[in-house]
Amino acid sequence: MSADPLLPPARALRVGVAGLGTVGSAVVGLLSREPRRLGARAGARLEVTAVSARDRVRQRGVDLAPLAWEDDASALARRADVDVVVELIGGSDGPALTLARAALGAGKPLVTANKAMLAHHGAELAARAEAAGVPLRFEAAVAGGIPVVKGLAEGAAANAVHRVSGILNGTCNFILSAMEREGRDFAEVLAEAQRLGYAEADPSFDIDGIDAAHKIALLAALAFGTRPDFGRVETSGVRAVRLADIAQARALGYRVRLLGLAERAGAGLLQQVRPVLVAERHPLAGVDGALNAVVIEGEPVGRLFFEGAGAGAGPTASAVVADLVAIARGERMPVFGVPAAMLAEPVPSDPCARCGRHYLRLTVADRPGVLAEVAAALRDHGVSIESLIQPRATEDRPALLVMVTHAGAEGAVRAALGGIARLEAVLEPPLMMPILGDEE
Amino acid sequence: MSADPLLPPARALRVGVAGLGTVGSAVVGLLSREPRRLGARAGARLEVTAVSARDRVRQRGVDLAPLAWEDDASALARRADVDVVVELIGGSDGPALTLARAALGAGKPLVTANKAMLAHHGAELAARAEAAGVPLRFEAAVAGGIPVVKGLAEGAAANAVHRVSGILNGTCNFILSAMEREGRDFAEVLAEAQRLGYAEADPSFDIDGIDAAHKIALLAALAFGTRPDFGRVETSGVRAVRLADIAQARALGYRVRLLGLAERAGAGLLQQVRPVLVAERHPLAGVDGALNAVVIEGEPVGRLFFEGAGAGAGPTASAVVADLVAIARGERMPVFGVPAAMLAEPVPSDPCARCGRHYLRLTVADRPGVLAEVAAALRDHGVSIESLIQPRATEDRPALLVMVTHAGAEGAVRAALGGIARLEAVLEPPLMMPILGDEE
């Protein structure tokens, strides 16, 4: 803080921003629009001095004229007038990774929103940051504007966390919410989401769960003190979820959500992204549209729930600038909450050992005897059925068989479904979704 | 961090704890149970060296034998083996305030859960802490285990906040939830809450809104950079809320919650604690039982929602220890987010200028003409009614008149109710509650 707190702080933190898409432009805009308020909070003037992007002439709604321009992002790390580097280029490797290494190598703090880069190279970058004695912060990389990295690594620092879970991809939640609300099918809603800009032209990164898997890998590292390891996240997306599943789930008192989930299971760590049935009274069931939300369950705090905008220029810029404020305030903590050298190798736990109730949906031939065959396969694997619904088949809707199992090991359900999928009367790969939120 | 991160940190942060009720005992227990994990996160061993409480012989479930004992809490501040003082005595003045001043005067960081002390003396203590160059942290003072002080002062640091609101008193929320769920009256549920230990023998501190008012004064200071000023919080509690109100609200699509609310209104600041009708799809409506929740609305982040346990030994200890971890990590920030000398005097805004829809409930004589008199009084003040319900009167239930107004200034409604209360046919003071959550 400056000597006279009523004057702007004498000290400046000079920021170099790489990547001027909507988020980068919003960061530059926010820092230039609010110098006094941010200066009071940070104890330093936060000033963008240099930027780098691919296209120098594009209109971005912010005045870049006073700022130095670098065609090569890594050059920001070498500039004497840059104290801290903000990386908003994206991509797990390439120029983003080169810049991150260059910034830390030059002993400069790094702020990044790049979940892919950290999910793949987080342990390496954390070690580099700690060796250089500079912070590496990534609040914007998980759940956009929701301060959940701080929530886990700082707010919940006293806790033994046993599970962290969340709705981490706004595109998928937008699609599932719209299917439920409007009774429209996946393909139709996806096409609309693409028209509205909620989904990319190539949507696979979102709807196949990759983006959520990057984020749950980071949350797992923060929660459990393990190396972020994207390769160990068992990932499936929302393509297999039908309107009929959403309607049946609703009738049973659940809502379908794509969840990222990391939990201690024995000595191991379960990391998954998958569609789940969430009980209506669980807070994750109420998260609609493009929102994100995260649940932290630990001892002694119990259950913490955070909800907010998971994407968009403004919320993401809010998170980036919060990291800059923390750096200006001199906050120092290990990148993933514990020193990089202490990050343990995650021991994957057997997902088949997971216990719980399950939702099953089969598409079957509309003829006698099918139910008996299915029931026999379930019985042979010790899977017991709590309830069964067979919605009436119509000409444009094949016969479905929807079941909810009693609590049991997921492995038995997977094995039974393996047999069921091979039955002649079963016309499509079965869909299985775990059921969450009934425990309490 | 120690040289070899796989060894326990060489550095120790020695903690003196004043107040050994359930929270103090939980803090001592947590620090002694988890030294390795907490040491890795804090970069220092967190060791309790000395304690103080009123009763030395009481059984607390933690081993106090190795710890130094002080009968006078303030003596903790003077001990050479205490680096940081944790104040869990409670009370706005008296020994808690004496200890807080002594600790900061001795240049020692202070962690406190004491909302009353900070709501009354926060600006003074913040100035003392900053003059001494030491942190004063109070995560546990607001919403128990929910890291909302961090959420506001750090996570949302980049934002211009326009409103912060929340369910800040678990006792009131327990009572309102139980009334709704079980259809029982206020007095009956309060008596049960007292039996269960959710409410004190003298419950006025909770149910008259004082406790929530302390907390909203602190949230307002963090959100708006103003001096915490408990005296400026317009406070009412839940005593006037009837089972009939909860049932009528439910029928209209709302739930009754006691909210703390601080919002910018023109150049002023509105600070209130009052019962409110919250639209069912608003996240605060889903907060049940003794939970707490806080909503932060700001630009550019939009709306952030936090939910968790607002009281109890474990969650409160989680917040206290998170503050100790932050101090061990060397985190430094102004106590209320901006330097104490910059904290502005809050300019109270006129609550009558607040605009919105309102719920009104009158207890009236069951005779012709009453409705006409009430309607005339409302018309005379320009209050227009959107809907009206008159539940059937029975022998043990007097005639009620429940109305929802169109959006308008609260002042007009207050003025109309002033007149209505004087009508001979109106048997009890009318109840008015604002309606929240329909805006979006």
DSSP per residue, A155-167: ITTTSEEEEEEEE
CA distance A414 to chain B (A): 35
- Quote the distance between the C-alpha of residue A154 and its chain's center: 19
Q: In angstroms, what separates the C-alpha of A311 from chain B's closest C-alpha?
A: 10
Give me the residue from B30, B281, B307 closest to A283, CB to CB: B307
User: Helix (H, G, I), strand (E, B), or coil: what is residue B355?
Assistant: strand
- In this predicted structure, what is the pLDDT of residue B196? 85
B225 touches chain A (CB under 8 A): yes
**What are the chain A neighbours of B42 within 8 Å (beta carbons)?**
157
Structure tokens at B131: 């003059």
Q: Please name the residues in contact with B238: beta carbons below 8 A apart, sequence gap of 6 or more.
A: B172, B175, B176, B186, B207, B209, B258, B275
Each residue of B279-314: pLDDT tens digit? 999 999 999 999 999 999 999 999 999 999 999 999
Instruction: Decide if B337 touches A, using CB distance below 8 A.
Output: yes
3-state secondary structure of B309: strand
Cβ–Cβ gap B154/A37 under 8 Å: no
Q: What is the mean pLDDT of residues B391-416?
A: 88
Which residue does chain B place closest to A316, by CA atoms? Answer: B301
Pairing, β A45-52 against β A12-18: parallel
- Minimal Cα–Cα distance from B281 to chain A, Å? 8
Cα B161 from chain centroid?
A: 18
Q: B252-287: per-residue pLDDT in tens?
A: 999 999 999 999 988 899 999 999 999 999 999 999
The pLDDT tens digits for B372-401 are 999 999 999 999 999 998 877 776 667 899
* Per-residue model confidence as pLDDT tens digits over B315-365: 999 999 999 999 999 988 999 999 999 999 989 999 899 999 999 999 999
Q: Which helix (H) or strand (E) holds B85?
A: strand B84-87
Residues of A in contact with B278 (CB under 8 A): none
Give the nearest chain A residue to B338 (CA atoms): A41
Phi-psi region of B312 (alpha: psi -120 to 50; beta: other; left: phi over 0): left
DSSP H/E element including B76? helix B75-78
Q: For position B139, what pLDDT does the model report?
A: 98
CA distance B278 to B280: 6
Taking only the tens of pLDDT, chain A with its 440 residues reads: 334 655 678 899 999 999 999 999 999 999 999 899 999 999 999 999 999 999 888 888 888 999 999 999 999 999 999 999 999 999 999 999 999 999 999 999 999 999 999 999 999 999 999 999 999 999 999 999 999 999 999 999 999 999 999 999 999 999 999 999 999 999 999 999 899 888 888 899 999 999 999 999 999 999 999 999 999 999 999 999 999 999 999 999 999 999 999 999 888 999 999 999 999 999 999 999 999 999 999 999 999 999 999 999 999 999 999 999 999 999 889 999 999 999 999 899 998 999 999 999 999 998 889 999 999 999 999 999 999 988 777 766 678 999 999 999 999 999 999 999 999 999 999 999 999 988 74
Give the one of B5, B38, B341 whose C-beta lies nearest to A339's C-beta.
Answer: B5
List the single residue in B40, B41, B330 with the smallest CB-CB distance to A332: B330
Q: Is the Cβ pair A321, B286 closer than 8 Å?
A: no
What ipTM did this prediction achieve?
A: 0.95
pLDDT (mean) for B185-198? 90
Interface test with B, best of A33, A86, A137, A154 (most B CBs within 10 A): A154
The per-residue pLDDT for A1 is: 39
pLDDT for residue B6: 59
CB contact under 8 A, B42 and A157: yes
Contact flag B308-A303 (C-beta cutoff 8 Å): yes
Q: Is B216 in the A-facing interface, judged by CB distances under 8 Å?
A: no
Q: Which residue has the higher pLDDT, B61 or A259?
A: A259
Q: Which residues are A163's β-sheet partners?
A: A263, A297
Q: What residues of B are in contact with residue A319 (Cβ under 8 Å)? A: 158, 301
How distant is the Cα of A436 from the closest Cα of chain B, in angstroms?
A: 18
CB-CB under 8 Å, B157 with A325: yes
**Which residues contact residue B327 at a Cβ distance below 8 angstroms, ignoring those fewer than 6 apart?**
B13, B84, B109, B111, B135, B137
Contact yes or no for B40 and A225 at CB 8 A: yes
Interface A-B: count of C-beta contacts within 8 A: 215
pLDDT score of B1? 39
CA nearest to B332 within chain A: A329
If you compute the radius of gyration of chain A from its CA atoms, what whole number of angstroms results? 24
What does R_g of chain B's alpha carbons equal in angstroms? 24
Region of A42 please: left (phi>0), alpha (psi -120 to 50) or beta.
alpha
Catalytic residue numbers of B read 215
Dig out the tokens for B416 from the structure: 């109309």
Helix or strand or coil: residue B119? helix
Ordered by where they begin, the domains of chain B are 154-309+345-350 (3.30.360.10), 352-436 (3.30.70.260)
Rounded Cα distance between B400 and B362, Å, is 6
Is B36 part of the contact surface with chain A (CB cutoff 8 Å)? Answer: no
- Per-residue pLDDT band for B59 (boundaries 50, 70, 90) equals confident
**Helix or strand run (H / E) with residue A217:** helix A210-224
Contact B125, B335 (CB under 8 A): yes
Of all residues in chain B, the one with the smallest CA distance to A334 is B41
Q: Which residues in chain B touch residue A341, judged by CB atoms under 8 angstroms apart? A: 5-6
Any A CB within 8 A of B431 CB: no
User: Phi/psi of residue B380, each to 5°?
Assistant: -60, -25
Contact criterion met (CB below 8 Å) for A151 and A247: no
What is the nearest CA distance from B203 to chain A, expressed in angstroms?
A: 25
**Min distance A302 CA to chain B CA atoms (Å):** 7
Q: Do A338 and B306 touch (CB under 8 A)?
A: no
CB atoms within 10 A of CB A397: 13
Chain A residues in contact with B158 (beta carbon < 8 A):
30, 34, 38, 317-322, 324-325
| Residues on chain A touching B147 (C-beta within 8 angstroms) | 150-151, 154-156, 304
| Inter-CA distances, A381 with A172, A430, B98, Å | 33, 16, 68
Where do the H-state alpha helices sit in A267-409?
313-328, 370-380
Tell me the residues of chain B between 262 and 321 that have a Cβ less than 8 Å away from chain A: 281, 283, 286, 298-309, 312-315, 317-321
Active site residue ranges of A: 215
Determine the distance in angstroms separating the CA of B294 from the nearest CA of chain A, rounded to an integer. 10
